[in-house]
Amino acid sequence: MSPAVIALGSNLGDREANLRHALRAMDALDGVMVTAASGIVESHAVKPEGVDAAAPSYLNAVALVQSELPAERLLDELNRIEVESGRVREERWGDRTLDLDIVTFGVLSADTERLTLPHPRAWQRPFVIVPWLQADPDATILGRGRIDALEAATSSEVWAFDAAPLMEAVHS
């Protein structure tokens, strides 16, 4: 089993329900077990041009999983969950019902056409780092060190979203 960190995001539809569904779907995968989840945070949409406050805001969370699946197979399954949740890929960093990204996969370092590990921009993104710290306060990211020391860890670009704990989705 390899530990992996999965970032979850949604800014279309019932955003909270989308995150809860994704967590249940990940935990239901053969060879994957969700071991922890952050709370939910909210943030403005980020587009290639920068922050887009006019777009619907995102709800974001992080899940910690143990995976028997290799990284690319896990990515295949996450992409399938996205599609089943109504994800349409029309524009880069466009609005979406569900976005599931592998942030880290054990100590694997990879740079393929489909998968870069660790995620190349995660260390700069408060909407990943802030919830990741909630799920694992001692987390580190390969090549960057402890995530609590990153600038993104103390950003005001994300704010709390009042919701029941995400792990309840796994246990319900």
Alpha-carbon distance of 111 to 113, in angstroms, equals 7
* Residue 87 annotated among the catalytic residues of the structure: yes
* Residue 24 annotated among the catalytic residues of the structure: no
Burial class (CB in 10 A: 0-12, 13-18, 19+), 32: buried
Alpha-carbon distance of 68 to 75, in angstroms, equals 13
Which residue out of 27, 101, 125, 136 is catalytically annotated? 101
* Residue 92 annotated among the catalytic residues of the structure: no
* Residue 99 annotated among the catalytic residues of the structure: yes
Q: Please say whether the beta carbons of 48 and 93 come within 8 A.
A: yes
Which residue out of 27, 87, 125, 136 is catalytically annotated? 87
- Cβ contacts of 142 within 8 Å, gap of 6 or more: 104, 107, 109, 117, 118
Which residue out of 20, 27, 99, 136 is catalytically annotated? 99
Which residue out of 15, 20, 96, 125 is catalytically annotated? 96
Two structure tokens written together for 5: 């960190």
Indicate the SS3 state at residue 19.
helix
Which residues are annotated as catalytic?
A: 87, 96, 99, 101
